[in-house]
Every structure is written in C-alpha cells, then in structure tokens.
C-alpha cells in the first residue's frame, strides 16, 4: 500500500512538471476508491457528473475529478466494467456493463434504480458511454470480438457495428466528435472517429494497464489497473513530447 501511495505521489509531482508538454501529458492523478477502475464516465452538464466504476468491489462512485467521493452504489451483477453518464430528458443516468452476466444497465444517477437493462452482444463486454449528441444512443465495446457497437440507450437495439483494428477496453465519448478507447494490450489510449478508426494515440506503459476511459471535451481520464489502481488525467490538445523523467518511474518501482 505504501508503495502505491508513493507511486501516486510521484505521478502528482510529475504532472506539475510536465503539464505543458501537450498531447498525452499527465496533468493529475488520484487513487481509485477501490481496485480495478474498469470504467470512467463523464456528464459535462453536471459538476458532479464524474463517475468511476470499480471491479474490485463492484461499486460505482460519483466523484470530483480530484478524487473526492460524493456517493457510491453497489452495481448489479458481479463483473463491473465500463461506465458512462448522461442527462436524458432532464434525468441523470449512469450506464454500466457486466462481463459475468453480459448485460448493460441504465441506472438512475441519484437513486440507483435500474430503469432498463439488456443483454449485450459479444463474449467480453467492456466499455460503454453515452453519445452526447444526436439522440439517445450509447457506444459499447466488446473486447473479444474487437467490435464497437452503436446502440439505443434504452433498449440496446443495435443500429450499427464496426470491427476495430485493436483490442478495446472502455470507451469515452468526446463532445468534440471523437471516441477515446483504451487498449490494455500495448498500454495505449486511442483517439478514434465515432466509427472506431484510430486517428491518434499515446502510450501509458509507464503507469500500468489502462482500463476505464472518459472525456470532458478537454481532458481524458484513464483508469489504470495494476499496479496503480488510480485514475489519471491527460492532456488531449497539442503535440506531445514525452518528458525524460517518465522513463525513471519504472526504475524507481522495480
């Protein structure tokens, strides 16, 4: 535990030193409220619309982007993965997927009540996020089939699907018209079109396995599993230059 806490402190110090480096630079970080932050969601309309979904205890947390917890609820199922947040018709919802029972859930943001659920396609559900424009839709990723789905946010009806060129984890919708998709194998955070075609990416191999993913239109938030179990905030604008100090992290924690 001390080692992880020290690691997070090092990341925070590095963030202050590297914030001006542009695309893919670490801005800040905080320890996740539980282990395996497989889902991160963001609802831009709400100051309290930041969510972290943890598989370590199958709870989802409504938080600040600095890591303070507003509230938490137990998830349905026993295999918490992706997470998305939305305002639909004036009501706040959280979307989560479960890899054990292979279901997606639309849950009341403040009540925790399940409004609808549906069986998802594929054999390893991972990512989900609400499409912030153009109707009531969600993006959903299945890891094993390497597929991105565009689905109805209430019923799960599939409108289209796209085979990806990489193995996806969680997906985050960017209101600028992009998707951010984490890739555990290779430790990448990919910026993609809304059909899943990669347009850019940056590596997070210095930090660990990228899982959860959410975007507020300016920054992308990435849940890192082992060894950190933390949420990291990265710059998405400009052209990044990897700071030399990042290479020292692995040496410090061997």
**For residue 2, what pLDDT band results from cuts at 50, 70 and 90?**
very low
Cβ(148)–Cβ(131) under 8 Å? no
pLDDT tens sequence across 132-191: 777 799 999 999 999 999 999 999 999 999 999 999 999 999 999 999 999 999 999 999
Residues with Cβ within 8 Å of residue 77, at least 6 apart in sequence = 58, 98, 100, 101, 103, 105
Mean pLDDT over the full length of the chain: 87
Dist. CA 168–CA 165, nearest whole Å: 9
- What single-letter DSSP state applies at residue 15? H
8 A C-beta contact, residue 206 and residue 247: yes
Domains of the chain: 2-252 (2.120.10.30)
Q: Whole-model pTM? A: 0.87
């Amino acid at each position: 535990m001390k080692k992880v806490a020290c690691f997070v402190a090092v990341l925070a110090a590095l963030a202050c030193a590297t914030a001006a480096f542009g695309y893919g630079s670490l801005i800040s970080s905080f320890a996740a409220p539980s282990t395996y932050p497989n889902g991160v969601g963001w609802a831009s309309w709400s100051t309290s619309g930041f969510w972290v979904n943890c598989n370590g205890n199958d709870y989802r947390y409504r938080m600040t982007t600095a890591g303070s917890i507003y509230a938490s609820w137990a998830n349905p199922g026993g295999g918490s993965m992706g997470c998305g947040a939305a305002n639909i018709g004036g009501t706040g919802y959280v979307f989560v997927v479960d890899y054990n029972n292979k279901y997606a859930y639309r849950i009341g943001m403040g009540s925790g009540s399940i409004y609808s659920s549906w069986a998802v396609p594929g054999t390893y559900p991972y990512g989900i996020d609400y499409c912030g424009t153009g109707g009531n839709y969600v993006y959903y990723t299945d890891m094993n089939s390497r597929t991105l789905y565009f689905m109805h946010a209430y019923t799960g009806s599939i409108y289209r699907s796209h085979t990806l060129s990489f193995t996806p984890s969680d997906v985050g919708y960017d209101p600028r018209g992009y998707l951010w998709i984490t890739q555990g194998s290779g430790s990448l955070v990919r910026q993609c079109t809304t059909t899943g075609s990669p347009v850019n990416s940056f590596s997070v191999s210095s930090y660990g396995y990228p899982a959860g993913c959410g975007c507020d239109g300016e920054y992308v938030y990435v849940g890192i599993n082992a060894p950190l179990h933390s949420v990291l905030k990265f710059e998405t604008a400009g052209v990044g230059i990897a700071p030399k100090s990042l290479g020292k992290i692995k040496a410090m924690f061997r």
